[in-house]
Amino acid sequence: RKRVGGKEIVRPANWGGFLVRPVEVEFWQGRPNRLHDRIRYQLTNSYDWKIDRLSP
């Protein structure tokens, strides 16, 4: 719960949303020579991000 100035922030009844907690994200950047850049981020058990270059 969030508070501002000692008052609770009220969520509107018509509001909805999603909480996204990624554990793996991959970024891909295409190149004309087909040596595309692919980089993967993986969340570790210690909440650090492990970064791997998948290609080239």
- Candidate list 34, 38, 40, 53, residue with the active-site label: 34
SS (H, E, C) 1-56: CCEECCEECCCCCCCCCCCCCCCEEEEEECCCCCCCEEEEEEECCCCCEEEEEEEC
**CA–CA dist 5, 7 (Å, integer):** 5
9-30 pLDDT per residue, tens: 888 899 989 999 999 999 999 9
Question: Which distant-in-sequence residues (6+ apart) come within 8 Å of 21 by Cβ?
Answer: none
Tell me if residue 34 is catalytic. yes
Does the pLDDT value for residue 34 go beyond 80? yes
pLDDT band at 1 (very low <50, low <70, confident <90, very high): low
Question: Which distant-in-sequence residues (6+ apart) come within 8 Å of 38 by Cβ?
Answer: 26, 27, 28, 29, 53, 54, 55
